[in-house]
Amino acid sequence: MVGKRIRIGAALFALAVSAFAKDKPMDLYLLIGQSNMAGRGPVEEQDQEIHPRVLTLNKQNEWVPAVDPIHFDKKGAGVGPGRSFGLEMAKHDPSVTIGLIPCAVGGTSISYWVPGAEHAKTKTYPYDDMLVRVRAAQERGTLKGIIWHQGESDGRRTSKYMGRLAELIDRLRNEFNDPELPFVAGLVEMDDRDGKEPRAINRVIIELPTVVPHTAVASSEGLTTQDGTHFDSGSARELGKRFAEQMIQLQAREE
């Protein structure tokens, strides 16, 4: 009976938070990339706690409290960096409501993040679907930044990666009419499967700020995976905090 009352209370609180969001402009953040952005870590009790100023756009394009999993790309979606990123951004500025726009799709190489590209395994169009969701979100707030975690699928095809990433950032900034829109890319897991060498893709991603202005990189140093590729829940939460730290620094430079 007590558990049922708690669930009912949480549901009512969620409805109240959603109603509040409809009237209050939000700082919006776009979350894109592949499975480590979507999150694959097991969901724990702490991941279900509601923060009244951290909301997410669900699959139906409705604003709801951001509790994990906030992504819905695959059945295995779990704890990723998005929610902890939102919590940190809300902590940094108690006057704002954070609106997360989760759009990552597991298994997508960077070649799928272009207009018209279909990802057959999930029957989605990652870039085009993302645009629809951002346009819907912008009715309630202003896009303040983008966080990107992707590269595992391109780990052995690094020669063209920087050019494609730069093109993606430029395209997004044009789409959203903001040539200085902050963009933070996250490094993938630090070691290859035999644990001997840093991932080659990381050596490319880490150079992003020297190639594209108004960008930064969130480190994955010290983070651990649950299967050699996907961050465990604790590391995913920590990565979200690192994304927020870099985002806050980028925004401060623009003030």
Judge whether residue 14 has pLDDT over 70. no
Residues 6 or more apart in contact with residue 10 via CB below 8 angstroms = 50
Domains and CATH numbers, the chain: 2-254 (3.40.50.1110)
DSSP 45: G
Residue 116 has pLDDT above 50, yes or no: yes
The percent of residues in the chain predicted with pLDDT above 90, rounded, is: 82
> What does the pLDDT look like over 214-248, one tens digit per residue?
999 999 999 999 998 999 999 999 999 999 999 99
User: What confidence category does residue 157 fall into, taking pLDDT thresholds of 50, 70 and 90?
Assistant: confident
Segment 55-74, tens digit of pLDDT: 999 999 999 999 999 999 99
User: Bridge partners of 29?
Assistant: 100, 145
The Cα 141–Cα 132 span in angstroms is 15
Confidence of residue 196 (pLDDT cuts 50, 70, 90): very low
Nearest 5 degrees, angle CA 253-CA 24-CA 32? Answer: 55
Banded pLDDT at 15 (limits 50, 70, 90): low
What residue spans of the chain are helical by DSSP H? 2-23, 35-38, 82-92, 126-137, 161-175, 200-205, 208-211, 233-254
* Residues 187, 152: Cα–Cα separation, whole Å: 10
Q: Under a CB-based contact definition with an 8 Å cutoff, are residues 164 and 110 in contact?
A: yes
Point out which residues pair with 100 in neighbouring strands: 29, 56
The answer to whether residue 195 scores a pLDDT higher than 50 is no
Q: Which two tokens stand for residue 149?
A: 């975690």
